[in-house]
Structure 1
Amino acid sequence: MMPMPLPLTRDLVLIGGGHAHALVARMWGMKPLPGVRVTLINPGPTAPYSGMLPGHIAGHYTRDALDIDLVKLARFAGARLILGAATAIDPVAKTVTIAGRGQVGYDIASVDVGIHAEMPAIPGFSDHATGAKPLDTYAARWRDFLARAAAGEVAPEVAVIGGGVAGSELALAMAHALRRDVGPAARVALIEAEADITANNPATRRHLADAMERLGVTLHTSATVTRIEADRVLLASGAPVRSHFTVGAAGAFAHGWLADSPLPTTPDGFLPVDETLRVAGHDSLFAVGDCAHMPHAPRPKAGVFAVRAGPVLYRNLAASLSGGALRAFRPQKDYLKLVSLGGKAALAEKWGKSLAAPVMWRWKDRIDQKFMDKFRHLPEMTPPALPDPVALGVAEEMAGNHKPLCAGCGAKVGPGTLAHALATLPRSGRDDVLSGPGDDAAVLQVGGATQVITTDHLRAFSEDHGLFARIAAVHALGDIWAMGASPQAALVSVILPRMAEPLQARSMAEIMQGAGEVFGPEGAEVVGGHSSMGAEMTLGFTLTGLVEGAPISTAGARAGDALILTRPIGSGTILAAEMQGKAAGADVAAMLAVMATPQGDAARLLAGAHAMTDVTGFGLAGHLMAICAASKLGAEVQLDAVPVYAGALDLASAGHRSSIFAANRAAAPVSGAEGALGALLHDPQTSGGLLAAVDPDQAFGLAMELRAAGHQAAVIGTLVAGPPMIRCVSP
């Protein structure tokens, strides 16, 4: 008898993708604690490494070089990733509130959300300045300003508020970049309220001052900022400082939502922790990194301490979840500070000594790259070997490399197998069942009303239950929308992995909220359903809809009709690659956001279509062939007009394919479909676009209306007289 998977009994929630949490996730992937469900909450799919920020601002690193890909990391760690900003923690109910998502429960949680450098107390800061943290916002605004300054669209004048080491580094980095891209006309000012640069070491202050002199950075000391305007910074005394890009770097400020929480905080809003990194008075909550304060061992806000705390946090989280003893975190009293000097030079400071030289830049770069390589090249975890012996055919099904079975529509039974099974179904001959197998939904006559009914379910491809439920709901509604019906009622069918009752309740709450967020606005009432536990999560819906007049079918297309597709293809390829840790997290997140977007408004715009279907498991070619076969027409597709999700083409070129790809290609061959883009025509789509055959005179206008409504729609081809077939044509 095969052993059952161990039940999930505890929820560990990591709030924020900071350096310590990234290290915890990496270590968890290498040595997980069985029975724990790990959730990582972060506003975006990547987390920047702050140590390389000055190098990026100076132009030595690309923006991508700073990013830890949390999608890949979560997959490696076996964690679920929820993209959203935490806005509250209730330590009594043990819940985390996520903006736009509701609450997520925890048994043990940890906070690593960093700090910000916004200074709203200065008049005009919110309108005309940018904090150096959050890094993402600052870096994006800086790139835009630098490009406009290089193009001559804005004066190359910059001011940095705060003359500490961080402010000095950024002033030097921006001065270097401006001199390179604009020339000697660039002006950078550093504004400090104290009498000198606030580095503790006199030699460090001297090195920084020398670098500023070389790069033309003007230092304003004993200067108090009174107001910030669009083109200048006003000081309490002296002439205003000209600036079209003003950066705040004068301190580390706690996020307001933490200060406003029922948690204990310091007067300036940080979470006090004991030597085990637990928040004071709350054994189930930890905090680490810049958002935490260690009263027993106060230290500056520096990433080095978060990195050093990572292994201790990992051990203490596992111990808290398993009843073990906790360890103390004892941060070092001094640490090596490597400070960039604009160009590829840096200074090193430790034990009261300071040395500046180009070799220090190489040293800093080597340390930073070594840290990032921990996440760029995650350890290859060897899958378990196949038993020996196995039945004939097992090795072939595993494709020789233990490639995982795809999820979503990539896990569907092949179209040929399904068509054969449907052909054997008996027919009762009822006259109130108006359609047979083959269209998107069944059409029923109920009294004087025409009703459509469909069912669909998906193998989970995301452990974010709320997001997955939204996508599954949009996916199931596709059949209703494609037939021109208005959603009416929904039944839910869910299988959860084996888990303890509190986790079941949390999971079901997330699923029902996510589904309700889609069904409610579309007018579908959730009336019940069925639930059970099994080996893995699947979610499905049975839906009904009402049609006024005749439903739109796949059989009404006409020769000459234009083909409109409402969203990109490539989701199956990206999902298949993501399961193997090969897809870029930003591409995955962008695609999932599209997949979770309802298409009811698109269906209403396409209500006059002659034929329509939704593109799902059998791919664009398979569903287009369904229209061709039912309407007895051929199709010409302009391959380069087909919209494709970002990242899908590169992944297809690298050979990534969904489990059902080969069966899809065999069932709906396309002539002239070459290369990776041709392969994507057979890629199974989950929550795919609507494919409509419309009057050619209306196609362009409809596509424009769809785009205006937020859909990535395109006119991709034409239906032609002749036998059912698909061929690709040049524009």
Structure 2
Amino acid sequence: MQPDFPITRDILLIGGGHCHALVLRQWGMKPMAGVRLRVINPSPIAPYTGMLPGAIAGHYTIDQIMIDLVRLCRFAGAEVILDRAVGLDPVAKTVALASGRSVAFDIASIDIGITSDLPQTEGFTDHGVSAKPLGGYAAKWEAFLQTAPEAPNLVIIGGGVGGVELALAQAYRMQQTGRRPTITVVDRNAQPLGNMGPKARAGMVDAMRRYGVDLHLNAHPVRILADAVELSDGTRLPSDFTLSVAGSRPQDWLQDTGLDLHQGFITVGPTLESSARDIFAVGDCAHLSHAPRPKSGVYAVREAPYLFHNLRARAAGAPLRRYQPQRDYLKLASLGDKRALAEKFGLRSGGAWLWWLKDNIDERFMAKFRDYPAMSAPKLPELRPRDLGAVMGAKPMCGGCGSKLPSGALGRALAVLPGADPDKTPGDDAAILRGPDGAQVLSTDHLRGFVSDPWLMGQLAAIHSLGDVWAMGAVPQLALAQIILPRASDVVGERFLADILDGAQSVFGPAGATLGGGHTTYGAEMVVGFTVTGTCAQPVPKRGAREGDVLILTKPLGTGIILAAEMQMIRPRSGLLGPIWRDCLASMARPMVADAAILTPVARAMSDVTGFGLAGHLCEMLGEGLTATLDHAALPVLDGAEGLAGQGVASTLAPANRAALRPEWHGPREDLLVDPQTCGGLLAAVSPAQADATLADLRAAGIPASIIGRVEGDPA
């Protein structure tokens, strides 16, 4: 996103296929001012097709074949929406998502790949595995390997190059684990490998013989069972793992888009534009009407420079480029072990050196998405205050609660406030207005943008603002919005605001609060906040814990570390950042209506864990003469947070949180204790007699709560 220029166009990439991944990388190197680039994909990672057989055979880990779309989108300055497209209106220019959301665009491109499932075959949905999408197949294969019998039966439906490659890969992996598999490739044709020349076909069939892979031709499945596949010729094949690689099937929702289709695939011309202006399609989901070609990732990769140019040209009103695919290309097929077979123009070659060549090509492709050019820090002026560099820091300032004023500075500033009226008190987490029938609590909170999706930002800001109301045991009542939008045209500004409010309403509505209005303005960046009220008979205090009380926490720690890693595009030493970030957001996006309902009747003290970290907020809960002992092993932690902390990743507020604590807080898991949380959990002090039953109630409600320690007397 270009903050120095108003946003006037929305470009939407639907799907995270190879072509779109390359376009995103090019966009990061050469962004276009005035354009908001958005990406819709159901997963935070996308598999690279070329390395799938190697991963199934065990030559690569699953992580090694995945493109981390979250890191890629941060590099590209693109907004990522983790959802699945299920519909498109080319006239209204909107995309319907599986979650029920609708996303508007000015220009769009579709790169959603294909599927190889067999929904028309009885039993496939329950007992079969589709090779595409690739990510699901790879995960199910790894799971199967953990439980497979000594002599498993495997059936692969589809005798094309992809089916045979995967059959050989599965055979090799099974042999490496000491198992004795029976593998059968089923194809409806009279001969397999129909797209290969005679010499290459003979080489692949010879490899199948070496691995003992059987061929069953002139038949197709009519029924998939949990332990068998029934074929059209009456054969019943035992099967512990049934995989479909049977050709390429377009995704069903394309049928209702109104776009011109060819056998279900989107028809495009030389410019890669569909029958609807401003809607492009690339990769396997597209049909090149001017030059039909078989489905292959090679064409998707070659289309990327043309799509990159044409998206920008359409936004600028410039001429489009025409793409003409090559007539043939080098086909490299894996043979199970580290050997490969090559074919081009009917000529065939094979051997270990071709595996080296294939591995080298694949590695060069994946290297494009492993490390990105570092973001250059703003250059300090020659004449400047001596402490300017120290205050700026070496890393970008965090969003969310990581951008809060440190507790020390905040406390000193608040000390100038006049004394409180007993009927209008500052309260603990929220101000309290007392009346004859109870109390009304009032709180305000806002967040500097840390996710670029306005809908998600509205949702998370609403949850975060309600945290103080829930922590005081109040029922949410009313919310007023305070929203700063990045500079944009009226049309794009309206989309921003509508998304934010819709995301917020998805929280306030079920929580029982009315979103009653507010204020909006344009500014340098997106900031979303809400003033909220709630009612209760008697507020739950922050300071009310007693010696012996049990401490219960309802959400895992680590959001500040993970959000900082995403902002800095950190590559974890193990695993991928995308799934870590996705799971972090899922935890943050869980409202705490049920948490508060269960804890309010039993909590002697309660607070929501936010910017000052678990340690800071726990200190606020402990009255004079009290301390607390934490069970570090019991602390719930988000997956990946501890590993990232070990790499030195921390929120910009963490050092100030650490400095505000007494020395005895330093110790194991210190980074997690001082990590600022956004949309953190409720921390409650409960009497020992009620703790176990309360924890059981929380967990029965699906809340990942934990007992993390006890309140004790201070020996000092």
TM-score higher than 0.5 here? yes
Match of 2:214 in 1: 218
Report deviation, 1:700. 2.7
Secondary structure of the equivalent of 2:622?
helix
Q: Is the 8 A contact 1:621 1:670 kept in 2?
A: no
Report deviation, 1:260. 2.2
Equivalent residue in structure 2 for 1:330, among 312, 324, 347: 324
Match of 1:436 in 2: 426
Match of 1:237 in 2: 233
Q: Structure 1, residues 293-314: CA drift from partner, whole Å, max 9, x if none?
A: 0010101110010001011100
Match of 1:172 in 2: 168
Secondary structure of the equivalent of 2:92?
coil
Task: From the superposition, tell whether residues 334 and 408 of structure 1 become closer, same or farther in structure 2 (CA, over 3 Å).
Answer: same
Report deviation, 1:196. 1.2
Match of 2:387 in 1: 393
Report deviation, 1:570. 1.2
Secondary structure of the equivalent of 1:407?
coil
Gaps of 5+ in 1: 726-731
Match of 1:496 in 2: 485
1:360 and 1:414 map into 2 onto residues whose CA distance is 59
Match of 2:269 in 1: 274
Match of 2:141 in 1: 142
Secondary structure of the equivalent of 2:461?
helix
Equivalent residue in structure 2 for 1:420, among 397, 412, 433: 412
Q: Does 1:577 align with 2:565?
A: yes
Match of 1:633 in 2: 626
Report deviation, 1:239. 3.3
Q: Is the 8 A contact 1:175 1:188 kept in 2?
A: yes
Secondary structure of the equivalent of 1:458?
strand
1:38 and 1:476 map into 2 onto residues whose CA distance is 28
Report deviation, 1:672. 5.5
Amino acid at match of 1:574: I
Gaps of 5+ in 2: 572-576
Q: Structure 1, residues 155-197: CA drift from partner, whole Å, max 9, x if none?
A: 51000111110111111111111122242x3110001111111
1:531 and 1:484 map into 2 onto residues whose CA distance is 30
1:224 and 1:100 map into 2 onto residues whose CA distance is 35
> When the two structures are aligned, how many residues end up with a matched partner?
708
Report deviation, 1:38. 0.5
1:436 and 1:514 map into 2 onto residues whose CA distance is 29
Equivalent residue in structure 2 for 1:603, among 572, 593, 596: 596
Q: Is the 8 A contact 2:544 2:622 kept in 1?
A: no
1:372 and 1:91 map into 2 onto residues whose CA distance is 34
Report deviation, 1:430. 3.2
Q: Structure 1, residues 379-425: CA drift from partner, whole Å, max 9, x if none?
A: 234334222222221111123x3x10110000000000111111110
Q: Is the 8 A contact 1:488 1:523 kept in 2?
A: yes
Amino acid at match of 1:430: D
RMSD over equivalenced CA pairs, Å: 1.6
Task: From the superposition, tell whether residues 689 and 104 of structure 1 become closer, same or farther in structure 2 (CA, over 3 Å).
Answer: same
Q: Does 1:468 align with 2:457?
A: yes
Match of 2:636 in 1: 643
Q: Does 1:350 align with 2:344?
A: yes
Amino acid at match of 2:478: A
Match of 2:547 in 1: 559
Report deviation, 1:4. 7.8
Match of 2:306 in 1: 312
Report deviation, 1:101. 4.3
Q: Is the 8 A contact 1:48 1:135 kept in 2?
A: yes
2:690 and 2:210 map into 1 onto residues whose CA distance is 63
Report deviation, 1:467. 1.1
Q: Is the 8 A contact 2:603 2:684 kept in 1?
A: yes
Match of 1:87 in 2: 86
Match of 1:105 in 2: 104
Secondary structure of the equivalent of 2:586?
helix
Report deviation, 1:356. 1.4
Report deviation, 1:707. 2.6
Q: Is the 8 A contact 1:673 1:679 kept in 2?
A: no
Report deviation, 1:73. 0.5
Which residues in structure 2 correspond to 1:640-679 (within 5 Å)? 640-669=633-662, 671=664, 673-674=666-667, 677-679=669-671
Secondary structure of the equivalent of 1:11?
strand
1:451 and 1:690 map into 2 onto residues whose CA distance is 20
Task: From the superposition, tell whether residues 381 and 176 of structure 1 become closer, same or farther in structure 2 (CA, over 3 Å).
Answer: same
Normalised to the residue count of structure 2, the TM-score between the two structures is 0.97
Identity %: 49
2:222 and 2:81 map into 1 onto residues whose CA distance is 40
2:232 and 2:442 map into 1 onto residues whose CA distance is 71
Secondary structure of the equivalent of 2:261?
coil
Report deviation, 1:127. 2.2
Secondary structure of the equivalent of 1:17?
coil
Which residues in structure 2 correspond to 1:256-295 (within 5 Å)? 256-266=252-262, 268-280=263-275, 282-295=276-289
Match of 1:594 in 2: 587
Q: Does 1:203 align with 2:199?
A: yes
Match of 1:24 in 2: 23
1:445 and 1:681 map into 2 onto residues whose CA distance is 34
Report deviation, 1:447. 4.8
1:617 and 1:672 map into 2 onto residues whose CA distance is 17
Amino acid at match of 2:465: A
Q: Is the 8 A contact 1:132 1:249 kept in 2?
A: yes
Could you list the runs of 4 or more consecutive aligned residues of structure 1 that deviate by over 3 angstroms after TM superposition?
none
Q: Is the 8 A contact 2:3 2:486 kept in 1?
A: no
Report deviation, 1:340. 0.5
Q: Is the 8 A contact 2:10 2:107 kept in 1?
A: yes
Q: Is the 8 A contact 1:156 1:182 kept in 2?
A: no
Match of 1:373 in 2: 367
Q: Structure 1, residues 584-619: CA drift from partner, whole Å, max 9, x if none?
A: 111011000110110110111111100000000000
Task: From the superposition, tell whether residues 105 and 239 of structure 1 become closer, same or farther in structure 2 (CA, over 3 Å).
Answer: closer
Amino acid at match of 1:436: P
2:613 and 2:499 map into 1 onto residues whose CA distance is 29
Q: Structure 1, residues 404-461: CA drift from partner, whole Å, max 9, x if none?
A: 011000000000011111111013x53421x336x10111124533111100000010
Match of 1:623 in 2: 617
Equivalent residue in structure 1 for 2:675, among 668, 683, 687: 683
Equivalent residue in structure 2 for 1:702, among 694, 703, 707: 694
Q: Is the 8 A contact 1:410 1:685 kept in 2?
A: yes
Secondary structure of the equivalent of 2:350?
strand
Amino acid at match of 2:618: L
Q: Does 1:516 align with 2:505?
A: yes
1:40 and 1:707 map into 2 onto residues whose CA distance is 35
Q: Is the 8 A contact 2:90 2:257 kept in 1?
A: no
Match of 1:729 in 2: none
Report deviation, 1:632. 4.4
Amino acid at match of 2:274: V
Match of 2:34 in 1: 35
Match of 1:728 in 2: none
> Which range moved further: 59-68 or 107-116?
59-68
Amino acid at match of 1:537: M
Match of 2:55 in 1: 56
Amino acid at match of 1:149: A
Report deviation, 1:683. 0.8
Q: Structure 1, residues 436-494: CA drift from partner, whole Å, max 9, x if none?
A: 36x10111124533111100000010011111111111111110111111001100110
Q: Does 1:530 align with 2:519?
A: yes
Q: Is the 8 A contact 2:398 2:651 kept in 1?
A: yes
2:683 and 2:368 map into 1 onto residues whose CA distance is 43
Report deviation, 1:375. 0.3
2:37 and 2:3 map into 1 onto residues whose CA distance is 20
Secondary structure of the equivalent of 1:387?
coil
Q: Structure 1, residues 325-368: CA drift from partner, whole Å, max 9, x if none?
A: 11001111101111011111110111211111011111111111
Q: Structure 1, residues 115-168: CA drift from partner, whole Å, max 9, x if none?
A: 000112222222221211111221122122222115x5xx51000111110111
Normalised to the residue count of structure 1, the TM-score between the two structures is 0.95
Match of 1:190 in 2: 185
